[in-house]
Structure 1
Amino acid sequence: MSNVEATPAELVCGSTAGHHPVEVLTPRDVPLGGPRAMSVRRTLPQRERTMIGAWCFADHYGPDDVSETGGMDVAPHPHTGLQTASWLFTGEIEHRDSLGVHALVRPGELNLMTGGSGICHSEVSTPTTTTLHGVQLWIALPDADRDAPRAFQHHVPSPIPLEGAVVRVFLGTLCGDTSPVPTHTPLLGAELVLDKDARLALDVDPTFEHGVLVDQGSATLNGTPLKRGELGYAPTGPTKLHLHNPGDDPARLVLLGGTPFGEEIVMWWNFVGRTHEEIVRFRDEWQAESDRFGRVEGYPGNRLPAPPLPTGRLRPRGNPH
């Protein structure tokens, strides 16, 4: 998914973990463009916290009535220095990229695209989709791998039944299940569905920081209440995460985790780089239709132009210590 804000914030991000109670990050609504645009709820990045492990971007959307919003139609747009992870709960999205991949994103299936030194792609909800509901996530690539070649991977995790819950692990390891999809830094990504009044104590890597996004219902993370759309952040240190669904209906959560990233990154629009000058170069190359990004074949429309750069130099914003 593209960040289609007209004036996207410029960010220099660095992930540092401290021994703090659970932080509750509230989302902000961002329209995807157009007169009847569907909107997304963005919890990463924000001023309070810019990264969780290498996870640097989280958009949560739906359930969205496509007949009212027109659904998703994101024209070809570029990425550098990151991976995109698409995870749906309802609906279907058609993905096309400059690697030549033409794939469908379906509920319960991970589609992971590696941008590396440059890629472009489009995302369009299919004609049969009536309700669209899911998350779009970005993963920052470490300096050693940020020029990795373009790649695309697909994985369908098996459900893991637990007492009062079902878990699907799409990246990393949890509950004895390991995703076969490799990552460039230690990461965790999973969907959890908790029954009414279910309590879950998850064994986790104490070197990881974690985030729990509430998709539906409500939940508590280590005793801290979280409402729908909120993201709870837990720092490194604990060997368990304690989750509880206090509601009368099932609660669906997305669990993200990873070791603190340990590098500063500059993130603006759809680019992840290391310096102001690098971001400027990426933007110029996209506007000039450089071979760096390639071309998307089969999308019936024009590519997405880059927004204007801010008038000042890109400024640092990092996680609190």
Structure 2
Amino acid sequence: MHHPFTLADTSRHTPDMEDESWQESFFLGWTDIRNKVCGHHHISLCPYLGFAHVWTWLIVDGVEVARSQENRIPLPDRDLRDMKVGILHFIAGESIRQLHLTADFQGAKVEVDYEGFTDPVHVEINTGGKLKLGSLHYESMGSVRGSITMGDRVIAINGSGWQDHSWGPRRLSSNPAGRWVFAVFGSDLAFSLYVLSAAGQSFTFGYALVNGEVDPIESAETGFVVADDGISPISNDSLLWTRSGRAWRITGKVIGTALVGGPGWTGDGFHWWMDGLTRFECGGRVGGGILEVSTLKAPTDEIKAILKAQ
């Protein structure tokens, strides 16, 4: 799972193929479970269509209080190392582990500094050859410090974060359902888990970060509980087995939720997920992060074949 990423990889990339689904995405998500606040800040650039999108929201006191949903805005001119897209402004730090973000919501302003516990980790998100989510993807988990300003109210942020950067062809329709967990307990223990469906199969991958070492996840039981609306996560009781032979049990309770998603590129349909600001426990330790649920919204080709609908 290791890849020699450098500061150059934090810059904007040029498509290396003629594919209208080629895109470049950049994301920072963070949580502070003590203050019950959470931020989700995602941009995606599609050079062939000449558009960008911004999907970003803010949870305060366990409730969504601000959102910016811009699905087709002009591509920015500047590089990802210092880029303004919609209400978001990303500035890369001197180290590949550092990132500063400003989000100017209507009625709320977020300023956070993120620092990864390690250099970015390469994760093969097209596991199994069925998923088409990007040619290259790196991510990291770390700490966030900053503030939220809402009128006269200022909330100090002292929590955990997850940052990623992907580029290459992306067909969101290749992944009709899935589960994702990021859970941070400290610089010595954190987890990033994916269980994604594609072509009638389920693919499990991710890693445990233990004392700075990456231990790939080989199998898992997510144990998600989802609300009666069919998409909002309530809790989890997850079991993970890693390559080193270790097993971990992580439980979590959702504090607040917010929708994520929008239209895919090049007629790839409309896609959505529900994220939950979550308080986790593992071996007596308490941490923060996100549970994400994507539920199956239409019959897949495999389901149609079984039910003889084709």
Return the TM-score normalized by structure 1.
0.28
Q: Indicate the structure whose relative CO is greater, using CA pairs within 8 Å and at least 6 residues apart.
A: 1
Structure with greater strand share of residues: 2
Return the TM-score normalized by structure 2.
0.29
